[in-house]
Amino acid sequence: MQGQAWAALLETVMSKSIAIEVVAPAGRTRDFYADIGPFFMDGAVRRELPYLKDLPSKVWLLARDEAGRVVGFAGIIPHRNGVSELCSLFVIPEFRSRGIAEALVEKRLDMVSLARVIRVVCAPASAGLYADKGLKQVAKRGSYVVLERKLPKVA
């Protein structure tokens, strides 16, 4: 999503007093871990995201409410082979159905738009967020689906 469309989506999310912060590996501070750490320990979050983990190369996107509280997050894992993996999408239940997950998906897709392959492993219920953006299901892993979008080969 580019230009005006992204601005309109951001305006919609911002009108709900939600801001999206990008945290690169070098930007992880004690405050970052204090904000996101409790999610790693929460049983309900772990049931939704059993493979939730932090990696040295992972880029985090944090959705914060007007008080600065993290109400959602998502991750990007860049791989050396030109694959960008979108992972760890979560919004706390009381903030769902407000466009936050959609905004996190859009922002991540915008950030990795030039990746050779964009890959997502997600629950089938979340697949629609990505299928609408041109990602196609290519496999199934247990109870999860794998979606991908590849850049066309340049002749």
| Domain presence at residue 134 | no
Q: At what angle do helices 100-111 and 3-15 cross, to 10 degrees?
A: 150
**Enclosing domain of residue 43:** 3-114
Which residue stretches of the chain have pLDDT < 70?
Answer: 1-16, 154-155
Residue 126 domain flag: no
pLDDT at position 155 is 59
**Residue 14 forms part of a structural domain:** yes
pLDDT digits (tens, 9 = 90+) for 97-140: 999 999 999 999 999 988 999 999 898 988 999 998 999 999 99
Is residue 68 domain-resident? yes
84, part of any domain: yes
Question: Is residue 149 within 8 Å of residue 117, measured between CB atoms?
Answer: yes
- Which pLDDT belongs to residue 29? 87
Domain assignment present for 139: no
- Asked, for residue 49, whether it belongs to a domain, the answer is yes
Number of domains in the chain: 1
